[in-house]
Chains A and B, each alone.
Chain A
Amino acid sequence: MFKILFLSIFFATTVVDCFGQDDGRNKLATIYFMRSTNGTAFNYFSTFIDDSLACHLRNNRYSVHFVAAGLHKLQVRFDGKKPRKRIRTLDINMEAGQSYYISLNGNRNLFADDLFLMEVTTNTASKLMPTLTIDNNCK
Chain B
Amino acid sequence: MTKISICTSLLLFFCSIATFAQADSGVNAKVYVFRSTGYPQSGVNFRVVINDELTCKIGNKRYALLDVKTGVQTFYITTWDNPTKKKKLGLEVSLEAGKNYYLNMRVTTQGFETKIFFEEITYNSAQLLIEELEQDIDCSR
Contacts and interface: CB of A to CB of B under 8 A. Distances in A.
Interface of A: 36-39, 88, 90-92, 103, 105, 107-110, 113-114, 117-121, 123-124, 127-128
B125 A107 contact: no
B39 A118 contact: no
Interface in B93-111: 93, 104, 106-110
Contacts of B37: 107
Given A108-B40, A109-B38, A123-B93, A118 B120 contact: no
B119 A103 contact: yes
Dominant SS at the B interface? strand
Contacts of A128: 119
A29 to B, nearest CB: 13
B39 A119 contact: no
A121 B121 contact: yes
Contacts, number: 57
B119 A124 contact: yes
B125 A108 contact: no
Contacts of A38: 108-110
B91 interface: yes
Interface in B107-141: 107-110, 119-122, 124-125, 128
Contacts of A88: 128
A118 B93 contact: no
Interface of B: 36-40, 91-93, 104, 106-110, 119-122, 124-125, 128
Given A38-B109, A38-B110, A105-B106, A121 B36 contact: no
Nearest to B115: A38
Given A107-B36, A108-B40, A39 B108 contact: yes
8 cross-chain pairs, A with B, having the tightest CB-CB distances, nearest first = A107-B38, A38-B110, A124-B119, A38-B108, A121-B120, A119-B125, A119-B122, A124-B120
B109 A39 contact: yes
A108 B120 contact: no
Given A108-B39, A120-B122, 12 more contacts: A38-B108, A88-B128, A90-B125, A90-B128, A109-B39, A114-B38, A118-B121, A119-B124, A120-B125, A123-B93, A123-B120, A128-B119
